Amino acid sequence: MATAHPQPASVVVAGAGIVGSAAAYFLARRGLTVTVLDALAPAAEASGAADGAVSVASKRPGPLMRAALQGIALYRRLAGLDPDPETGLQGDDAPLAGLFHPRSTFIVAASPAERAVLEAHAAALAQAGVAVAAIEPPAIKARFPALSAAACLVIEVRGDGHAIGYQVVRQLLAAARVPVLRGCPVTRLDIDAAGGRIRAVETPRGRIAADAFVFATGNGTAPLFGLQAVLTPRKGQLLITERDLALSRAMPGSIMSGRYLLSKGSQTRALDAGGEQASISAARGFGLVVDPLRTGQFLIGGTREDHGDKRETDLAAVSRILSDAVALVPGLAGVRLLRGFAGARTAVRDGLPLVGPLPGLANGFLATGFEGDGICLGPVTGAALADLVCGTAPALDLAPFAPSRFAELQAAA
Ligand SMILES: Cc1cc2nc3c(=O)[nH]c(=O)nc-3n(C[C@H](O)[C@H](O)[C@H](O)COP(=O)(O)OP(=O)(O)OC[C@H]3O[C@@H](n4cnc5c(N)ncnc54)[C@H](O)[C@@H]3O)c2cc1C
Q: CA 213 → CA 78, 111, 228, 330, distances in Å?
A: 25, 49, 21, 50
Instruction: Tell me the percentage of the chain whose pLDDT exceeds 70.
Output: 92
Cα 252 from Cα 143, distance rounded (Å): 8
The whole-chain average pLDDT of the chain stands at 91
Q: Where does a domain end: 330, 348, 366?
A: 348
Cα 134 from Cα 143, distance rounded (Å): 11
Q: What is the pLDDT of residues 143-169, one digit of tens each?
A: 999 999 999 999 999 999 999 999 999
Q: What is the pLDDT of residues 212-251, one digit of tens each?
A: 999 999 999 999 999 999 999 999 999 999 999 999 999 9
Q: Rounded to the nearest whole angstrom, what is the distance from the C-alpha of residue 402 to the centroid of ligand 1? A: 19
Residues 67 and 85 in one domain: yes
Q: Rounded to the nearest whole angstrom, what is the distance from the C-alpha of residue 215 to the centroid of ligand 1? A: 13
Residues 235 and 310 in one domain: yes
Q: What is the pLDDT of residues 284-329, one digit of tens each?
A: 678 899 999 999 999 999 899 998 888 889 999 999 999 999 999 9
Residues 114 and 242 in one domain: yes
Q: Is the pLDDT confidence value at 90 over 80?
A: no
Specify the number of domains making up the chain.
Answer: 2
Give the pLDDT band of residue 6 (cuts 50, 70, 90).
low
Q: Rounded to the nearest whole angstrom, what is the distance from the C-alpha of residue 116 to the centroid of ligand 1? A: 32
CATH number for the domain including 331? 3.30.9.10
Calculate mean pLDDT across residues 334-340.
Answer: 96
Residues 186 and 302 in one domain: no
Residues 55 and 126 in one domain: no
Residues 262 and 218 in one domain: no
Q: Rounded to the nearest whole angstrom, what is the distance from the C-alpha of residue 345 to the centroid of ligand 1? A: 6
Q: Rounded to the nearest whole angstrom, what is the distance from the C-alpha of residue 86 to the centroid of ligand 1? A: 30
What is the number of helices (H) and of strands (E) in the chain?
Answer: 11, 20
Which of the two residues, 114 and 73, has the higher pLDDT score? 73
What are the residues whose beta carbons fall under 8 Å from the beta carbon of 163, sequence distance 6 or more? Answer: 52, 54, 75, 96, 99, 100, 101, 375
Q: Where does a domain end: 304, 333, 348?
A: 348
Residues 413 and 264 in one domain: no
Residues 222 and 357 in one domain: yes
Q: Rounded to the nearest whole angstrom, what is the distance from the C-alpha of residue 176 to the centroid of ligand 1? A: 19
**pLDDT value, residue 264:** 66
Cα 147 from Cα 362, distance rounded (Å): 53
Give the atom of ligand 1 at the shortest distance from the alpha carbon of 203: 42
Beta strands per DSSP E along 265-336: 289-292, 298-301
Q: Where does a domain end: 329, 348, 367?
A: 348
Give the atom of ligand 1 at the shortest distance from the alpha carbon of 45: 30
How many CB atoms neighbour CB 203 within 10 A?
Answer: 19
In degrees, rounded to 5, the angle at the alpha carbon of residue 357 between the alpha carbons of residues 197 and 233 is 115
Residues 175 and 257 in one domain: no
Residues 68 and 183 in one domain: yes
Q: Is the pLDDT confidence value at 279 over 50?
A: no
By most ligand atoms within 8 Å of CB, the mutation choice from 260, 291, 345 for ligand 1 is 345
By most ligand atoms within 8 Å of CB, the mutation choice from 18, 64, 169, 304 for ligand 1 is 18
Give the pLDDT band of residue 86 (cuts 50, 70, 90).
confident
By most ligand atoms within 8 Å of CB, the mutation choice from 12, 21, 45 for ligand 1 is 45
Q: Which domain holds residue 127?
A: 104-158+231-348
Amino acid letter at 240? I
Residues 22 and 143 in one domain: no
> Which residue, by CA, sits nearest to atom 51 of ligand 1?
50
**24 burial level (CB within 10 Å; 0-12, 13-18, 19+):** buried
Q: What is the pLDDT of residues 165-207, one digit of tens each?
A: 999 999 999 999 999 999 999 999 999 989 899 999 999 999 9
**pLDDT value, residue 275:** 32
User: Measured between alpha carbons, how far apart are the two ends of the chain, in Å?
Assistant: 16
Give the pLDDT band of residue 270 (cuts 50, 70, 90).
very low
Residues 145 and 236 in one domain: yes
> Which residue, by CA, sits nearest to atom 53 of ligand 1?
343
Cα 199 from Cα 339, distance rounded (Å): 45
Q: Rounded to the nearest whole angstrom, what is the distance from the C-alpha of residue 33 to the centroid of ligand 1? A: 24
**pLDDT value, residue 281:** 45
Cβ < 6 A, ligand 1 pocket:
14-20, 37-40, 44-47, 49-53, 165, 185-186, 216-218, 220, 224, 236, 238, 301-302, 343-345, 368, 370-376, 378
CATH number for the domain including 388? 3.50.50.60
Q: Do 322 and 239 touch, CB atoms closer than 8 A? A: yes
In degrees, rounded to 5, the angle at the alpha carbon of residue 168 between the alpha carbons of residues 162 and 173 is 170
Q: Rounded to the nearest whole angstrom, what is the distance from the C-alpha of residue 304 to the centroid of ligand 1? A: 14
